[in-house]
Structure 1
Amino acid sequence: MHDTLGYTCGTCGDRHDEPPLSYRTPAPVYWSDELAADADSELTPDLCVIHGEHFFIQGNLDIPLLDAEGHFSWGVWVSLSGANFGRTVELWESPGREAEPPYFGWLSTELPVYGATTVNLKTHVHTRPVGIRPLIEVEPTDHPLAVAQRTGMTTADVRRIAERLLHPERNPEPGR
């Protein structure tokens, strides 16, 4: 039987497992390890507060796959207003919370594969049922991330992303 799992990396020439269909960032771009000692700052896998005045939530920014079932997903951080963050926390364990209207937020994650910064792209945060991270929708602009979310990507695109993230020293960010 022919092994269909995996691919030959275009950067290093090695055989890798099939690339992941999701990547998650551990913290908003504004977080630093020094903040862990600040009583007014906190980072959990889903929520972040910096100095008691900047609020973030992690969600999934999904991109449809054009040549396979499902989607590719970035686990990204988005800033929320204090009021919307408070509402999010208030409804955290409440069934039916997905009926909330979308919240406005600024993308607070740098995704180095798009050639232009992704920090501060305008987003809408769609609350989903309890236990499911919010869906992040980027404002429809001509930014490559926004275009990808609207039009989709191929499994070849997923492999290119994996190669960039597996071998950043060989694949510097565009413009560097």
Structure 2
Amino acid sequence: MPGAAQIGSQLPDITLAGGVWDGTTFIRRDYTLSRTAGRPTVLAFYPGDDTSVCTKQMCAYSSGLEQFAELDATVWGVSPQDVDSHEAFARKYGLRIPLLADPDRQAARAFGVAAPGIGLRRAVFLAGPDGRLRWKHVALLGATFQSVDTLIRELGKLATT
């Protein structure tokens, strides 16, 4: 398994199926990382839909969507579950960020966060508008997650560099 993406490196250009809840409909489509060029991007890898810590994390990021938008940042959640699972998860909790399906863990391997037995490590990657990795956090155990405040602070640093 390759190591996690390194600060300053160009992020892998992944394409994953996913969808986003708009309040009434779950809109499905493919998401390609290179299409976020020109905007900072937050990729949040999480182990599973509708689990305790993952639910708290995705609800926090969804609730913080306006703060991310103020920095023109795109926010995506990525986990091994399929798009049907993501739809049920998004509907249940009103999640407004795109949830992307990585059932074969292709993206998790590309980012170096695939983990035998648990699927993937909880991780957050922040890419600058140029598609280069500017900040990351990869958890060993995944019992906690990076707060919206932490991500906003790190995104704010991108705007000043």
Under TM normalisation by the shorter chain, which class is it?
under 0.3
More relative contact order, 1 or 2 (CA 8 Å, 6+ apart): 2
Q: TM-score, normalised by structure 2?
A: 0.27
Q: TM-score, normalised by structure 1?
A: 0.26
When you count helix as a share of all residues, which structure comes out higher?
2
Choose 1 or 2 for highest CA Rg: 1
